[in-house]
Amino acid sequence: MRIKLINPNTTQRMTDSMARCAREIAAPGTEIIAVSPTMGPPSIEGYYDEAVASLGLLAEVEAGEKQGIDGYVIACFGDPALYAARELARGPVIGIAEAAMHAASVIAPGFSVVTTLQRTCNMAWHLAERYGMTRFCKNVRATDVAVLELDEPGSAARQTIIDECRRALDEDGSDAIVLGCAGMAEFCREVEQAIGAPVVEGVTAAVKWAEALVALKLNTAKRGDYARPLAKRYDGVLSDFSPR
């Protein structure tokens, strides 16, 4: 089984960190192929970043189809271009916010999302509504830690996140935490041990979900909304993205 993990930003060290997490929990026989696009923003922290990053992400999905990839993980908590990726892909495509929220809803009656910048909080709420998770999601809390700070040597990011997770448990009435950024994946267990409550991060949750769907031989439906894009010629610099 081959799962392609796509980090939609161009920061390779973050992709490598996600790959380590994914490979630690992947089943024997599952190959994790972790990539970043060759074009796009170094971090995704708003709607504009998401929109620009989507083209590189979709190019990686299209390349994966030619490589015979069995399933995909979109490793950004905004789940950018998730539905468009499903139009392109034969196998399942899982967004990490989708996976993390569903996993948390099974193990706890309520969870809080602890994310990076304040400006992304409404984005997380919109995803919770899209996925039917608003009855489980107690709050979305920002740490105002920039994405690229997460793995900087000497950064106080980890302690800031741990402190915010503790406040979420105490103030929101939550029983579990969802980490709202793929860049937090590698210190999920550290946070969990520090706060004494379940902590879910979406990279590993999405990998296991993708594995399960592939093992069940469940592919993406190709009728209706997830049918292949209609063939047409795109103009200008987007001509290479023309559906065929």
153 and 64, same structural domain? no
What is the Cα–Cα distance from 115 to 178, expressed in whole angstroms? 8
CATH number at residue 19: 3.40.50.12500
Q: What pLDDT was estimated at residue 244? A: 86
164 and 140, same structural domain? yes
8 and 54, same structural domain? yes
195 and 209, same structural domain? no
What is the Cα–Cα distance from 46 to 42, expressed in whole angstroms? 12
212 and 121, same structural domain? no
Q: What pLDDT was estimated at residue 52? A: 97
193 and 115, same structural domain? yes
Q: What pLDDT was estimated at residue 154? A: 65
Q: What pLDDT was estimated at residue 153? A: 67
Per-residue pLDDT of the chain (244 residues; tens, 9 = 90+): 999 999 999 999 999 999 999 999 999 999 999 999 999 999 999 999 999 999 999 999 999 999 999 999 999 999 999 999 999 999 999 999 999 999 999 999 999 999 999 999 999 999 999 999 999 999 999 998 888 787 776 678 888 999 999 999 999 999 999 999 998 998 899 999 999 999 999 999 999 999 999 999 999 999 999 999 999 999 998 898 999 8
101 and 190, same structural domain? yes
133 and 210, same structural domain? no
Report pTM: 0.95
Q: The domain containing residue 168 runs over which residues?
A: 97-202
231 and 163, same structural domain? no
Q: What pLDDT was estimated at residue 150? A: 77
Domain count, the chain: 2
23 and 84, same structural domain? yes
What is the Cα–Cα distance from 28 to 163, expressed in whole angstroms? 36
